[in-house]
Structure formats: structure tokens, C-alpha cells
Amino acid sequence: MPVLAALTNGSPHSWIILNALVARFGPVTVLVEEKEPRGAVLRRRIRRQGLLRVAGQLGFVALQRLLARRARRRIREILASRGLDPRPHPGCEVVQVGSVNSQACRAELGRLKPDVVLVFGTRILRRETLQAIQALHAPVLNLHSGITPKYRGQAGGYWALAMGDPEHAGVTVHLVDEGVDTGAVIAQAPFRPEPGDSFPTYFYLQADAFRPLVVQAVEDVLQGRLSTWDPGLPSAQYFHPTLWGYVWTGLRRGVW
């Protein structure tokens, strides 16, 4: 049985994907990262993006809490109609590691000696973490909720829709390098929102789109036939929308 390790934030979206892997390959060891302290996140964002933009992003987060409550019915419809299971799998070992860049995480990976490492929903892997995994000769695959390199960073699927570019609203499986979603592309697939979908539901649609891509990518790693390709797209990095930008886009384009 192959040894698969996943570095995740333990979200329902991640378990939708993990459960697809378990169904095909057996139990996965899941290393769950804790949320970074809010103060540290804010200080880093302010240094990079400025106080005004970060204030707008905080307003957006507050609005999303309201939209998430309103989206519960639609989320249940997506789960039922697509056969998605967001519950943690009882057969998987779950290990809390604090941060994916901690010594505890690197030690756990050294113990496991995985055949492949999957990353989604965590902080950016630092060089020492990436090198520690590479020393195990395990490919590191990132699951990015956007089409790279055109929509790197955060909320790539939303940004494609917000930019009037629905043909590039999708997901990407790519190798991890030291950049932000700049690794070589393994597979991509679109997702198609329906009327009534919004920011909180996009992630469930994207989790569904990920499932066959990730299963195939792991199969290719195990069979020694993993390959990459160049989408031939421009490269740009995106961050969380601001409250005013999100509302304006919703009113102008109907993208919420």
C-alpha cells in the first residue's frame, strides 16, 4: 500500500479530496496545520499590501461570514448532488503539527517516508521544509484553487470570474517550488458555478473538480509516469478581495 501524506488545514474542502484519495489508495496520513495567529497575519499583510487594502479585506471577511450562513442550503445541494463527503475519514491518521514549516512537521514526514506529499490550504512551504521533503525523494504536489500561472495566490477561481474570465475559473495540481504557485503544472480543470453560487460555495465546486485530477496525479507518481506541461498563460498573483471591490464586482458582474 502506498504511503501518502497530506499537509492541510483540515477544512471540509480538504476532506472531500482526501476521501477520494482514500477510496482509491487507502488511508492517508493527514498533517493538520493550526491557524496562524491573527496578529502575525495582519502585520505581514500590512507590510505587503498597505493598511487601507488590509482594512478592506477584513471587511470582506466579515461579509463572508454572513454569506456563508446564507450559502448553507446550496452547499448541502452540492454535496448531495455530487456525492461529496466533507467528513474526516476515520481510517486516516491525523497529526497536529502546528505549522507545516515546524520541526515537528519535518520530523513526522521523516518518520512516514511518504511516496508523495500533497499540500493544500496551508502556509507557503519554506525552503528548509521543501528541501527536507525532497531529501525523502517524495514529489510535492500543491492543489491550487485557481488556474496557474494566470491566477496565482488566493481565491484564484473567484478572481477569474471577477475579471470576466470564466474559461480560466478552475483548479490546478502542480509541483511545488520556492515561488508562490509557480511550480510546473501537472493537471488543470475548470469549474462552472451556477446561479446562486458565491464565494463560499466555489470552494466546494473546486474540491469536486480536484478529485479526479489528484487521484490521477498520485497514480502517475506511483507508476513513475508523472509529467508536466506549460499552459502558456501570463503570470499574476492575487490576494483576498476588499469589501468594496467585492461588492462592486457583485453589483457590476453578478459575481459574488
Predicted confidence band at 253 (pLDDT cuts at 50, 70, 90)? Answer: very high
Q: Is the pLDDT of residue 38 over 90?
A: no
pLDDT at res. 23: 97
Query: CA 145, CA 207: separation in Å to the nearest integer?
Result: 8
CB of 158 within 8 A of CB of 176?
Answer: no
Q: Which contacts qualify for 33-38: CB closer than 8 Å, 24 or more apart?
A: 33/7, 33/8, 33/9, 33/97, 33/98, 33/99, 33/100, 33/105, 33/122, 33/123, 34/96, 34/98, 34/99, 35/9, 36/99, 36/123
Q: Indicate the pLDDT class of residue 37, thresholds 50, 70 and 90.
A: confident
**What does the pLDDT read at residue 40?**
87
**What are the pLDDT digits (tens) for 65-100?**
999 999 999 999 999 999 999 999 999 999 999 999
